[in-house]
Amino acid sequence: MEQIAQWFPGHMAKTFRNLNSQIKLVDVVLEMVDARLPYSSRNPELRRYTHNKVHLILMNKADLADAKVNQAWLNYFQANNLPTFLYNSKQRQQLPKLLQFIYTQAGALLERNEQRGLDQKDLKVMVVGVPNSGKSTFINNLVGRKSNDTGNRPGVTRQSKWIKSEVDNLAFLDTPGLLWPKIERVEAQLYLALVASIPETILDKENLTYKGFAHLWQYYPELLAKRYKLDSQSEFSVELFDEAVRNQGCIRAKGKLDYERFAKAFLNDLRNGTLGAISLERPTDYVNENEACE
């Protein structure tokens, strides 16, 4: 598969340089991943700094992902000693259970500190994740007001800042959405681009849409067929893709297909859940790889 995109702007490079010193300030690292791509939205560089910290996985946007695949990922991470919580940051009622999960997982640390006579006023938690993973919405839920701007685009948060939770004894360090200097796996580039963790301004959206449609047809032909009026029993082909474009009414003058217009419609359908609950990857895709959980 050909390269999709690389994106590592200046504000990310600055955050990356400061990451080690910032992690030293916290007790817990809460790594937010997109539930539709939990492996590919994990930062492979992060594990270099988290060995002495309580490291938790928050699978956000779980409502947009396939429920059966969510459970498979939950089992996968937990089997690799990474406590994981399924979450939808748009449902604030889940917050008490999540905070209890953080407290429970940090319990041994708090007990050790108490035995050592340390007066720990707050449990300090760093929230880290790829762009557009839902961190800003999560932080706004924590403080009970709009502390951060939100949007279905990457790069909304540009600076790290401390946020005091409505709940006593919890302080969160919110960090900008962070990728890594070079995304080696082309599949990860594709998945991150499909969910808008890489900005559209640097992407070939028509190529991205074709590749994304072809990938999803392997797993969810019924969902795509229903949305774009196709035969779910058909094999994927250029002709099938063109039929989807035509059925969506994306046609220019003289009957030419409007791939640009279809790309916009398809990416919106995928990102906002109109297609249905979909997952872009599964643990079985990485049966011979274990670096994400080391």
Binding annotation for GTP: 60-63, 88-89, 132-137, 177
CA distances (Å), origin 140, targets 28, 57, 71, 144, 147:
19, 19, 27, 6, 5
Binding-site residues: 60-63, 88-89, 132-137, 177
The CA-based angle 218-222-225, given to 5 degrees, is 100
For helices 259-272 and 238-247, what crossing angle results, to 10°?
Answer: 80
Q: Residues 246-283, buried b or exposed e (16+ Cβ, 10 A)?
A: bebebeeeeeebbbebbbbbbbebbbeeebebbbbbbb
Sign, Cα dihedral of 74, 49, 164, 120: positive
Which DSSP symbol is given to 63?
Answer: G
Q: Nearest-CA neighbor of 44 among 179, 173, 154?
A: 179
Beta bridge partners of 31: 57, 128
